[in-house]
Structure 1
Amino acid sequence: MDRRLKRVFVIVLDSMGMGAMADAARFGDEGADTLGHISQTVEHFYIPNLASLGLANLKSLKQVQPQEHPLGYYAALNEKSNGKDTMTGHWEMMGIETKKPFITFTEHGFPPELIAELEKRCGRKIIGNRAESGTKILEELGEQEIREGKLIVYTSADSVLQICGNEETMGLETLYHYCEIARELTMRDEWRVGRVIARPYVGKKKGEFVRTSNRRDYALKPTGPTALNALQEAGYDVLAVGKIHDIFDGYGITKSLHSTSSVHGMDQTIALAQSDFCGLCFTNLVDFDALWGHRRNPIGYGEEIERFDKKLGELMPLLKKEDLLMITADHGNDPTYKGTDHTREQVPLLLYSPSDQRSGSLPTQDTFAVIGATIADNFGVQMPANTIGTSLLPLL
């Protein structure tokens, strides 16, 4: 690519892995294949826009034929960091290699000392305190939380501390305050989780509880400056859509938009494509992971990909010659696999610009960090010290 682009759009299909990495057995994920197993499970898989960008050239799909002349470039990316969670994946995209994984409390819940301190600071007794599906623990304990003024705290296979709160009886601001307390407490090394997550819900009794879109993530700041900081400091726009602001704790971001769903996130991205900015639009679409991957629903996951593809068909005609679109994922979450955890998988990278004169396959890359390095290279910005990644621009 011999010209500098004005706008780059990075869209993360949260958890859409495409096959186990070579070291997947070390994570207990041998044989996982999010995209492949969805294709094998669903009856219909209509994704013409993703196909046009070369997705079926990159990954064999039962219902989708490879393109003879794909519109863009495509590559498989391996994760270099030691992990398979949202923060690790996104941070690596922007240049950070995480060598020490975040602490998890999957087996025994949070230690009594942390629970006691959280109870003291919040003034409520804690119930739950185990690794569990958020919808399941809410059905089980929601009535008790409301009736007795308790506080549902739980975790998962990720490095998270999650707190449920009823918007009508507890109030959103109260829930957020409790999460701020939990974030402060979990800055201690022995309790240091990657994220504290507020999980608000509505409803008065079992069978009626519904989680709302007012979730809020309280993440750790990245361990160092990323490509986002480099762009921001050079005066470029860094626009965050969806969970991106939470994942980076606002670090290196100039404007953020909260999304209520993945379709909403795409609508926001489409609106930004119709606006005038110079820099990066970084979008996370979380429903793939939260609604379908963790809940082990391959049919719903496939339908979510189809909904995305339809919105992609609205976005692509808005792209100009000085734009670059990059579609990728941050880890896997195979909805046909054991458990409810993320899976250690390669992820796709699809690249498209209306100015492309050529297209086709790129070599498999050994890190997600090629994404941030490519963006920085395009804008003539130096990546921060201690970051990883090599630009793909010389290959385009």
Structure 2
Amino acid sequence: MGRFIVIVLDGFGMQAMKDAAIVRPGDENSSTLGSLLHDFPDLKLPTLEYLGLMNAFGQESRAMKFSSSASFGRCELMHFGADTFQGHQEIMGTKPKKPEVHDFQQKIYEIEKILLSNGHQVERLGEKGLEYLLVDQYCTVADNIDSDLGMAYNCTAPLDFLSFDQEMEIARLVRSVVFVNRVIAFGGTGNTIEDILKAEQVREGKYIGLLASATKSYEQGYECRHLGYGVDPSVQAPMILGKASIPVSLFGKVADIVHNEYGKSVSMVDTAKVLDLTIEEMKTMEHGFICTNVQETDLAGHSQDPLRYKEVLEIADQKLRQIVELVNEEDVLVVMADHGNDPDIGHNKHTRENVPLLVKARKEGVDLGLRASLSDVGASVCDYFGVEAPENGTSFLPLIR
């Protein structure tokens, strides 16, 4: 009986992947950790240092050294680009499929057609040639302008006027006819459709959407679901474990973006609170899988705020010390990331970087090397619990047990 715990420090990359210049031009010099060490040479993260952060990075800093007891490695991203949603699907064992990139104008007719044919009321807003949809008076369907342009469409609604289930019905229809990375349905209570429409913005002259932070959706009653391209939850670790009656608990942003039909999912942003929730879960769970996403590192990267990034890491490091203290000889703890988000790179998007793979388990001092996919974690989770393997990944469990 034991636990497999995965902590994802969202956006905490190490250095640019070898294909970054081709796949993500501009990211070839990125290094999230490197930038933070440049800005704060005396940065001290004692728990991450103990777990092998500098070993994985490949060099010591002024304040942090190699750890002789650490089991460590790095993971490449198999998914296209650098994406939180696809990164977490990959972690759970999905073999990523390359999505298409389309501005909303290229798909507006097909989306409008499928919605009308299923009995929905549809109105076009904006100007001719740069339009988006208002469905059933309360749900906008448009470009996602908060992340990589052309990679996602948003369905946004005020949930006092349109239920989230109704919004999800619209989102699923949109998902059925488009091949972009994500269709994101979200909304909150206490706002109105007028609040959402006031958030209209245009990017690069061809992307039109509603700036999420300006829609007042986050202020109360927030609900969100990400519908990904080529994602089959039945071949992911949470669903496989759940069907085998093994407890699964997802905390933080991972609860919003990973399907967990049989387990517990709690969405939360605050770093201290989400890690406290993880600690409490570890105190009561004797056997099962826990995955927690620390989102505020990623948010600091998006804000291009290295000081805030440093502060979040320090909070996370303190809480990780408590988590490490609760790990017993039967457990496996993994601390990793899903992509980079270099706060000094000069843009506010994710960066395509190798990510750390820091492992605490029975066997110490193991170099896990450069893993070809984040899915090696999902494969190791399933291997640990003796269930069928997920769709993708190579287990590293034999190396650490």
Partner in structure 1 of residue 397 of structure 2: 392
- In the TM superposition, residue 325 of structure 1 has moved relative to its aligned partner by 0.8
Unpaired stretches in structure 2, ≥5 consecutive residues: 200-212
Partner in structure 2 of residue 377 of structure 1: 383
Partner in structure 1 of residue 283 of structure 2: 274
1:343 pairs, out of 323, 326, 351, with 351
Partner in structure 2 of residue 69 of structure 1: 68
- Matches of 1:318 and 1:46 in 2, distance apart? 22
Which secondary structure state, in structure 1, belongs to the residue aligned with residue 370 of structure 2?
coil
Contact persistence 1:57–1:67 (CA under 8 A): yes
Q: Indicate the larger mover: 202-211 or 269-278.
A: 202-211
- In the TM superposition, residue 336 of structure 1 has moved relative to its aligned partner by 1.6
Contact persistence 1:332–1:345 (CA under 8 A): yes
Partner in structure 2 of residue 240 of structure 1: 250
What code does the residue aligned with 1:387 have? Answer: N
When residues 109 and 293 of structure 1 are mapped into structure 2, their CA distance, relative to the original with a 3 A threshold, is farther
What code does the residue aligned with 1:67 have? Answer: F
1:126-145 alignment to 2 at 5 Å? 126=125
CA RMSD of the aligned region, Å? Answer: 3.5
Partner in structure 1 of residue 2 of structure 2: 6
Which secondary structure state, in structure 1, belongs to the residue aligned with residue 239 of structure 2?
helix
Identity %, equivalent residues: 25
- In the TM superposition, residue 187 of structure 1 has moved relative to its aligned partner by 1.8
Which secondary structure state, in structure 2, belongs to the residue aligned with residue 282 of structure 1?
strand
TM-score by length of 2: 0.78
When residues 175 and 382 of structure 1 are mapped into structure 2, their CA distance, relative to the original with a 3 A threshold, is closer
- Matches of 1:129 and 1:47 in 2, distance apart? 53
1:23 pairs, out of 8, 19, 22, with 19
- Matches of 2:300 and 2:376 in 1, distance apart? 28
1:99-248 alignment to 2 at 5 Å? 100-105=97-102, 111-113=107-109, 121=120, 126=125, 153-155=142-144, 156-157=147-148, 159-163=151-155, 170-172=158-160, 174=162, 176=164, 179-190=167-178, 192-198=180-186, 200=188, 211-212=218-219, 214-220=222-228, 222-223=231-232, 225-248=235-258
Given the alignment of the two structures, is residue 41 of structure 1 paired with residue 39 of structure 2, yes or no? Answer: yes
Contact persistence 2:174–2:183 (CA under 8 A): no
Contact persistence 1:114–1:185 (CA under 8 A): no
- In the TM superposition, residue 46 of structure 1 has moved relative to its aligned partner by 2.9
What code does the residue aligned with 1:359 have? Answer: G
- In the TM superposition, residue 122 of structure 1 has moved relative to its aligned partner by 6.6
Contact persistence 1:13–1:329 (CA under 8 A): yes
Q: Indicate the larger mover: 181-190 or 374-383.
A: 181-190
- In the TM superposition, residue 6 of structure 1 has moved relative to its aligned partner by 0.8
When residues 388 and 68 of structure 1 are mapped into structure 2, their CA distance, relative to the original with a 3 A threshold, is closer
Partner in structure 2 of residue 300 of structure 1: 308
- In the TM superposition, residue 190 of structure 1 has moved relative to its aligned partner by 3.1
Contact persistence 2:139–2:167 (CA under 8 A): no
Unpaired stretches in structure 1, ≥5 consecutive residues: 132-144
What code does the residue aligned with 1:157 have? Answer: D
Partner in structure 2 of residue 89 of structure 1: 87
- Matches of 1:128 and 1:281 in 2, distance apart? 47
Given the alignment of the two structures, is residue 257 of structure 1 paired with residue 295 of structure 2, yes or no? Answer: no
What code does the residue aligned with 1:275 have? Answer: T
Contact persistence 1:331–1:343 (CA under 8 A): yes
1:363 pairs, out of 355, 361, 369, with 369
When residues 108 and 195 of structure 1 are mapped into structure 2, their CA distance, relative to the original with a 3 A threshold, is closer
Which secondary structure state, in structure 2, belongs to the residue aligned with residue 335 of structure 1?
coil
Q: Indicate the larger mover: 322-331 or 122-131.
A: 122-131
Contact persistence 1:45–1:64 (CA under 8 A): yes
When residues 181 and 43 of structure 1 are mapped into structure 2, their CA distance, relative to the original with a 3 A threshold, is farther
When residues 115 and 374 of structure 1 are mapped into structure 2, their CA distance, relative to the original with a 3 A threshold, is closer
